[in-house]
Structure 1
Amino acid sequence: MLSTSKSLAAPLLALATLLSGCAADSVLVDRYDMQGLQASVAGQNADLDYLKTTGDRHHQELTELHSESTQQIIDSINRQVKPPECPPAPKAPVCTIDASTDTGTSDRVKGKLVVGEVEKAFLVGPNFIYDARVDSGAETSSMDARNVRRFERDSQEWVRFDIPVPGKDDTFETLEREVVRNVRIIQANEQDHERRAVVELQFRIGDHEQKAEFTLSDRAHLTYPLLIGRNILRDVMLIDVGKEYSTELPRSIRTGSTRNN
């Protein structure tokens, strides 16, 4: 019996040795495969990083090329298309007077017209000559106007009014003008205020002609139908206190006006 056990031990030992050798070889083979896989993954990651870097560079180059091409197109359009220009503002029509040989007489001091407290004033349009009161105490010039009626024309406020004909009592001529603005006038000892229209009228005193704003007001109770205020005097005229009619209108106006006083 003992001899039988000894005879079996040798083969078993040999078998165990063989099996242990196979296990060791199997472990070595798996380790080598894992190292190769890791090396392959590292190589693929390096390739991906290279492709990403290359793609980013190409994208940046395309973006810069696109921006440059767009700017070239814009520059070319700007060179071919002329920028829009605003048309010049139309000049207001001005009624001129032929005074090539007779300009009237006026004294001037440092370029300013010297006027008296009363002057002959020629109103362009109706061609009337009025006695005008020159008053440095009045802020705005004033024109004697009756039956003032407001109306609308081309979405603008206009006014229709009657002015006295010089030298003819109770005789009037109707004018129409666009309203430049409105002013509020508060009369003395009155709580209510009056809304008066302001229009532009063209006139001439001596050899000076201009267009200015006049308040439309009923001046029937006053001596002079026309008042020249500071809005005209400022930087244009000087008053010689105590004098009257220190200027003279051109002969062509004095003899050719429609009506005069």
Structure 2
Amino acid sequence: MLRKVFILATVSTLVIGCATNTVKTPPIIPVDASTLNHELSQQESRLIDMIEKVSVEQQSEIIDLTHAITSLKSSVEHCKPNPQTPSVAVIEDCDANSIIGEKYVLGEVEHVFIDELKASFDTRIDTGAESSSLDARNIILFERDGDDWVRFDVFTLGESGPAQTFESKVERFVRIKQDAQNKSDRRPVIHAHLRIGQYAAETDLNLSNRSHLEYPLLLGRKFMKDIAVVDVSQKFIHGSSSTARFKLTQ
């Protein structure tokens, strides 16, 4: 009997405990269609406001970025170096037709003044000859202060006038072979300062008898290298004998 009473008491206690721990679920409030539409409309308005706010902020940032790019382009333009054209030295009073780029144009024949002789000569400009040569007569070699010197005569006024005697230090000797049958000719070489019109240059001249040739002075390729080109269709581009003498007396 006591066992039955104990079992009933235990079951009662368990039932009371379960009843005490049971969670009460709040009642579900029904929502009608108008209330739901109102809530959705409010959420939609909030979303639109947020999107518009973000769009305005992005637009402002885009404008600021555009201004920054424009300012940067302007700074780059100011930093660009001004293009400079290479300067070309042009001698005053020089005929434009006598210059191509940075090179002088020489005719087949030009009038050339030699400073050391204080005389001018009609001169053959010959691209076929390597060296330059001056007509000299009575060539005599001698020694001065241990150096080789040469004494020679030049017809500065032409064959009809008297020859003048000059002396110059010998820079070196060259051997010129005229043809296969003849032996090479050993010639002394002197250094000279030349003027062709307004153009001045230095070159070496070998001395030889050119009485059998038309022109007393010949300028070859070494003289013209890197400084001049030859137009064989023209003569006296830089002035004839009379004009050259007039310029030199100014």
Report runs of 4+ in structure 1 exceeding 4 Å deviation.
101-106, 249-253
Tell whether the 8 Å contact from 1:108 to 1:114 is kept in structure 2 after alignment: yes
Are 2:142 and 1:151 aligned?
A: yes
Match of 2:128 among 121, 134, 137: 137
Match of 2:174 among 164, 183, 187: 183
Are 2:112 and 1:121 aligned?
A: yes
Change (3 A) 1:252 1:136: closer
Q: Which runs of 5+ in 1 are unaligned?
A: 1-100
Q: Cα deviation per residue 1:18-55 (whole Å; 9 max; x = unaligned)?
A: xxxxxxxxxxxxxxxxxxxxxxxxxxxxxxxxxxxxxx
Identity of matched residues, %? 37
Are 2:203 and 1:212 aligned?
A: yes
Tell whether the 8 Å contact from 1:147 to 1:162 is kept in structure 2 after alignment: yes
Match of 1:194 among 185, 191, 195: 185
TM-score (norm 1): 0.55
CA distance in 1, matches of 2:93, 2:167: 29
CA distance in 2, matches of 1:235, 1:120: 20
For 1:133, give the aligned amino acid.
Answer: R
Residue 132 (structure 1) shift? 0.3
SS at match of 1:190: coil
CA distance in 2, matches of 1:212, 1:129: 15
SS at match of 2:235: coil
Tell whether the 8 Å contact from 2:124 to 2:218 is kept in structure 1 after alignment: yes
For 2:210, give the aligned amino acid.
Answer: R
After superposing the two structures, state which structure 1 stretch, 248-257 or 170-179, moved more. 248-257
After superposing the two structures, state which structure 1 stretch, 183-192 or 147-156, moved more. 183-192
Tell whether the 8 Å contact from 1:141 to 1:215 is kept in structure 2 after alignment: yes
SS at match of 1:165: coil
Change (3 A) 1:162 1:257: farther
For 1:185, give the aligned amino acid.
Answer: I
CA distance in 2, matches of 1:251, 1:135: 22
- Alignment of structure 1 residues 80-99 onto 2, 5 Å: none
- Alignment of structure 1 residues 29-108 onto 2, 5 Å: 105=95, 107-108=98-99
Q: Which runs of 5+ in 2 are unaligned?
A: 1-90
What residue is the counterpart of 1:53 in the other structure? none
Q: Cα deviation per residue 1:198-247 (whole Å; 9 max; x = unaligned)?
A: 11111111211112101101000000000010111101111012111111
TM-score (norm 2): 0.57
Over aligned residues, Cα RMSD in angstroms? 2.6
